[in-house]
Structures are given as structure tokens and as C-alpha cells.
Structure 1
């Protein structure tokens, strides 16, 4: 707990991101990874192998973007820095661990950014009792990226905004909440394909609750977004019992796509 408190107090973070829980989420994720390092190892290895394979499909040099870089647990940063002329890490919060790793590579740049483009307008809407906004993902400076990677971000983007809606506008109709979540996820996919020649993505696609190895509950993690069959897939034992539940374990199904910007069938 002392480590988490120190990280929370000393990590640079924009006020809006702190208020909406992004810093707390980053600190909690790091703590969970330390507790579950062994259970997460197959997932982490699968992610890193996939990212390296995906990067090798892009030409050397040029610019690479990593959206949702987080703690870099799943990202082989050294391999990306070696392959590309510039690597831009985008997230709402860059932790001390991430900053330390980035400093080892002179061509790695950190950018604190809301890739949905919706958080500031959502905050204004919730404060003023206005309708939920439509996302407007940001344009990024410079030439188009040769390679863009979205790291387990697609399923997560709506979660903290929905928490804020539940707190500040609890009477929001469920249909409006679902529309907002679907729009966030869909606009992220479109944005990724717009900013890069190769739009690579991995994300959890389904959540499974298991007890004694038997699936008791399952849920879609893609907010109704229609994606082609993944190029790679694996399971992630994200919260073995009793991490979140005394008896049940949480497992995520993960899908990975080499290039969602490519025309279908290529």
C-alpha cells in the first residue's frame, strides 16, 4: 500500500485525468500485475510476441504510435525503438516506470492525451446537465504513422467515462449509455486506421467468470463492435480467485489483429 500511495502522490497527471480515475487505475493495474505476475505471464508473452510480429510487417524507420501504452507490461519497447525512427507513447497517464523505460531510448516520446477526444466535453456535459457528447478523436501532429498499436484499449475506453456518468448523471437512460460506449469504441477503431498505414490492435473480446474450471458467466467486451476474426487469440487469467471474488476467477479472451486499416481479405 505504501508503494501505491507514493506512486499516486508523485506521478504527474492532468487534473481531469486524476479526477476521472485514470491515475488510480494505472496504479492499481501495476499493483495487480505484481500480485499476479505468474498468472499473467502467458498473456504478457503472447502480447509481446504478437507486437513484435506485427512490427516486422511494417517497414523499418518512420514513426510508430503506441496508444494505451500504460505500464508497458505488454509492449516490447526496446524492439519498437530499434525498428522505428520515432516511437510515440500515448496515454492519459505515464507512470514513473514508463518514464524510466522511455528515457533509455532517445527516439521514444511521451504524449499525455485523451485518444477518445471525449473526456473534456463529457465533463462539461455532466457538469451542465447536457446530453452525452460524441467523441472527436484528436488529429496528431506530423506525418502519418507507419505503424500504430492499440494496447488492450478498445474494451477499456468507455469504462471510466461510464463510471462518471453513473456518478454524475445516474438517470441517464441505458440506451444512451450504450450508444455512448459503442461510439467511443467504434471511433477508436476508425481513428487508429486514419492515423497509420498499419493499424494493429489487441484487446480483450470476452470476459469469463469461472468456478472450479467451469464457465458460470460470460460477457462481450467489444460493446457490440463488429470486428473480423482475429489473426491471433489467447486467454488471459487476469484475476484468479480470490483476486476479485473469493470463489470465482476472471478470465479474458483476447483477440489481436495485424492491420485493421487493410482492406478486407488482404
Structure 2
């Protein structure tokens, strides 16, 4: 709790992010990661591998300075492979309401090629992301009030790839107790999709005898997503 409180006090953030509790959310996320590091490791590795692959496939200039990748929901960069992104693109835009010091230190190592953008992604994509050669949406969609609008914005980008949790699963040992759709039936319409399970809160993190897991999907956002979202 002390580390979370200090993080809340020392993390730079716009006033609206503090007022809405988004700084506290980031500190709580980092604290849970510390407690559940082993359980989260496969999910974070899968995210980084997919995003690095997407960056490699979408790069056009080999990082010589003429291309831009925008990462939406970059947060503390737990799930974002910043070094491969910076190697493949001339500019990397990290977009989120809060950029913890962990992300700021890593960004600073890239000597101006990485830009931090404070933006409320619930209101849409920032202006800078509209001109990006590749847009990456990272574990963000289920937290937005209108996932369909976000998908439509991604589909209007030059190229976009997405990682998102889609279902919450409650289990006890090997027995599934409940499953809930987190996207209200929204059709992702992804190209070359893949998926895995993220053990978000293994017992006794939230419950003494139950695990909470997320089903995660990743893939390229197709133009069909624009039609499906409307």
C-alpha cells in the first residue's frame, strides 16, 4: 500500500486523470503485477511477441525516421516491446492517460524517438495517431465505454492491430464456474487472430479458493470492423 501511495503522489499526470482515479488504477495494476508476476508472465510474453511481430510486418522504412507507430493503452509498458518498436519505426507515440515512471525511464533511453502523449482514449484517438503508419491497441478495448467506436477508428487507420481481453472466466481448480462477455457481443472481425488465457487474479489474490482469468485475442483489425461496429 505504501508503494502505491508513493506512486500516486510522484507519478506526473494531468488533473483529469487524477480526478477520475486513473493514476490509482495504474498503481494498483503495477502492484498486482508484482504480486502475480509468475501468473501474468505468459500473457505479457504473448502480448510482446504479437506486437513485435505486428511492428515488423507493418514497418516500411526500417526505423530510418519516416514511419510512425502509435501505441494506445501503453501504460507502464508491461505488455509493450518498446525496443523492437523503436528499432522498426522512426517515431513511437505512447498514448495513455497516465505514463508511470517505469515507462518514462524506458522512453528516455530512445533519445527523442519516443513521445509520450497524455490522452483520454475514451474520447477517441488523439490527432497524432491519425497519421501513424501503424496503430496498436493494447489491452484497452474492454475498458472503453464504446468498444465499437474504438474499433471503427482503428479500422479507419492505415494499419491497426489489437490485443484485447474478451471474456472474464471464474474457476475453481479445473472447474469453470462462470464466464462473462466483456465486449457486449461486439464483433472484432480480426484477421489472422490468435488467443490465449491470462490468469489475472489467481487464488487467493481476490478470492481464497477461486481464480479469475481473461480470454485474450489478438489480430489485425480489418475494414470489416468498421461495418461491424456500426
> TM-score by structure 2 length?
0.90
2:79: which partner in 1?
Answer: 74
> CA separation of 1:112/1:43 partners in 2, compared to 1, >3 Å: closer, same or farther?
same
- Find the structure with the greater CA-based Rg: 1
1:64 is displaced (CA, Å) by 0.3
Distance, in Å, in 2 between the alignment partners of 1:214 and 1:235 is 15
1:20 is displaced (CA, Å) by 1.1
Distance, in Å, in 1 between the alignment partners of 2:129 and 2:164 is 27
Query: Which of 116, 122, 134 is residue 122 of structure 2 equivalent to?
Result: 116
Count of residues in correspondence between the two structures: 219
1:261 is displaced (CA, Å) by 4.3
- Per-residue CA deviations over 1:87-145 (Å, capped at 9, x if unaligned) read 0000000111111111011200000001222xxxxxxxxxxxxxxxxxxx255148721
Distance, in Å, in 2 between the alignment partners of 1:15 and 1:263 is 34
2:189: which partner in 1?
Answer: 228
Distance, in Å, in 2 between the alignment partners of 1:187 and 1:32 is 29
Instruction: For 1:89-238, list aligned pairs within 5 A.
Output: 89-106=94-111, 107-117=113-123, 137-141=124-128, 144-158=131-145, 184-194=146-156, 196-228=157-189, 231-238=193-200
Which secondary structure state, in structure 2, belongs to the residue aligned with residue 231 of structure 1? strand
Distance, in Å, in 1 between the alignment partners of 2:28 and 2:179 is 24
1:84: which partner in 2?
Answer: 89
Contact 1:201 1:260 in 2 (8 A): no
Contact 2:189 2:221 in 1 (8 A): no
- Structure 2: gaps spanning 5 or more residues: 62-66
1:126: which partner in 2?
Answer: none
Distance, in Å, in 1 between the alignment partners of 2:159 and 2:223 is 6
Say whether residues 1:259 and 2:221 are aligned partners: yes
> TM-score by structure 1 length?
0.78
1:259 is displaced (CA, Å) by 3.3
Pairwise CA RMSD:
1.8
Bigger proportion of residues as strand: 2
- Structure 1: gaps spanning 5 or more residues: 118-136, 159-183
1:260 is displaced (CA, Å) by 3.0
